[in-house]
Structure 1
Amino acid sequence: MKKVAIFGGSFDPIHTDHVNIIKTCHYKLGFDEVWVLPAYVNPFKTISSSSVTQRLEMIEIAIKGLDFVRVETFEIRKTERSYTYDTVCHFLKKYPNINFSFIMGSDQLDTFEKWDHFSDLIKIIDFKIFLRTDVINEDIVKKYNLETFEFDNNHLSSTKIRNLIDIKLQIKEVNDYINNSLMYVYERIESKMDQDRYYHSLNVGQEALLLAKLNNYNLNKALLAGTLHDIAKRWSFEDTKQIIESYDKSLMLEPKPVLHSFAGAFHLKRDWLFDDQDIINAVFKHTVADKEMSVLDMIVFCADKISVERNYPDVERLRALVRSDLKLGFIELLKNQYEVSIAKNDDKTIGEKLLIAYNHWVKGNK
């Protein structure tokens, strides 16, 4: 009789430890197949951070090449919360000639007896417990004579991944998918800045998207760079200084209000593991520009200055100019920024990078 392990969970997102459990089921425990069963909404959770399509696509990326794995959509396609008892009954009835076991992590043992129809569930299917935590509920293990198993454990969790913890241990292709889809923005950005700045970031992303359409540029890159441009804006000075100095100490000579752009670029590279240099450069240059400005650099620089919530004098004219001619609009906005900086300070304290950009694009284009 074929042996199948049912591995249920939110998989929001799927990560390296999930895949290591899957591999252990097949290669060490002798299961012929592992059926990955993403839940629509875990009964012990109140929200899912990603869409059904996104979770399924991430799973397919993670299990690529594992021909013994099958994705079952019985739960995720439902329009209501899923319960393990109903799912198990469904599979036992539909596949009477398969010997099923249910896979769960040891971190779920504390709530195990609270599962729906638990007293019936424990009698109709065998549970295999994988040791995800250092300390487990031994009383539950002994009470129900549960088998426990070790695996190549990185002590990852989906919560950690959503919050940029231990990203280097995540499956690279899944992490790239998450980054390129702007997933988990709320956890990664909103919680680290005030609401006005968060909405500004979203608005800049939308303005960048519009400018990309008008300039026949890659829409997704523009949306990503625009939305993420201010990710380090509300960091403490010490955190900002630490990450900048780990890459380029000379940047600390620039004015304090522009440091977040450098920190944000380095944050994307170091902590998000972004490897798209175009996006990193656009975030780096969005405050004071540079002699070398790509289309994306100009898009993000301008989108930041003319996003929908901006209401300073002459902004409507500048919006119209940028949307009709990106380069001319960029030069005008750079000129305005220089003049405002001079009015507040002087040409010796506004920062070398702004002076270089101004001399190149404004003076050089007269």
Structure 2
Amino acid sequence: MKPTYLLKKLKELSKRYARAQQIPLHEARDFVAGRLGFPHWNDVTKAHRTGWTPTQTQLSSIESLLIDTLPGNEAGRPEHGAYIEASMLEEDVQHGRLDGHEYDISVSLGDVHMCGTGWHLHVPEAPNRAPRLEIAKQIEQEAPVYDAQFQQQALKIALKHAEQVRAGIASDWPRRSTKPNKEGVVRHPISGAESNKWYCLHCDSSTTGKQIAKSLWHCPSCDASPLAIHENAGWLEDGDSGTKPLADIGIQGRPGLVVDVADTRLQLELDPEKITLLIRSALVEDASNASERLGALFADINVHDDNDVWITFDEDLWPEHKEPVSALAVAALLGIGVEQELCLRDLPFAWPGLGEHTLSTVEYTEMMLNAYANQRAGKSVE
């Protein structure tokens, strides 16, 4: 390996470490120099000019900085955009054990999800949003996550994972996106626009370049994603009240853990739409030919405030004395009453009786089309 390549490798690793940790490049290079046994980075370059080269062991120790900082093995992937492309889809689920209890941890669109039996810990990508722990109430006495110490241990693991995700994203972005210049100007990581003041499309707040870079381009006010952050508020019209500047304070870090205890079992909430769907499906099941099937689909089903049902059939499509047995059985299971009536309505097709001779919609359609085609000009339709 050429000596110049090894020095370039050190420079590349220190640059990616600076982006991942969102610190000045000179601090990252001095830190790397310290790991190599030099007081400052300048001493590294001086030693290199006199023939010194890092050993493979030293290079591996520097690479371990990134391995510990970034998700997966990002240290060996210097291509721009490598982490962001990989993180657009959910990563492979990792498995672990905490105090003897198994858990899974994964990343989806920048959010960290840590799950065990009866609990789910969610750490959002936005560094200003609180992590949230959801616990199933139905296993209240069994879930280990009810223990405060277990919660803190799980949170520590999830936050570490979230910091790795954040470092991976920052390492892919241009340096100016996470490090403002002396005038506070930063570069948008997606659009490439540069400004020292930024506006949120969601909440109309304005932030400084330092604020938006510190919050990883999520709105410090409403946590909107980088896609909602713009260098001007062109969407505001003359009559609007304008943007709301945020206090010029640094991002204080994530809020504390929010714990939600709830019954997570699926519950059926009946509403008119769901009741209508079930009753109509049962009516179709009750139909014994194509005409009655059309009658089931054409019927008016009205759900009252008390969830009782009123069904209005067309008398040309549904026999007068035919009981909708399946629909009544479904209503009984749901605990609701059913009222029925017949009426005459404007039908979509002529000759509704044609459908009484077949179960096939295809055959009924063919008979209906032939009947229409056989009509002569001036002949009345009976």
TM-score interval for Structure 1 and Structure 2 normalised by the shorter chain? under 0.3
Larger fraction in helix: 1
Larger fraction in strand: 2
Look at both structures and tell me which one has the larger radius of gyration over its CA atoms. Answer: 2
Q: Given the two structures, how large is their TM-score scaled by the length of structure 1? A: 0.22
Q: Given the two structures, how large is their TM-score scaled by the length of structure 2? A: 0.22
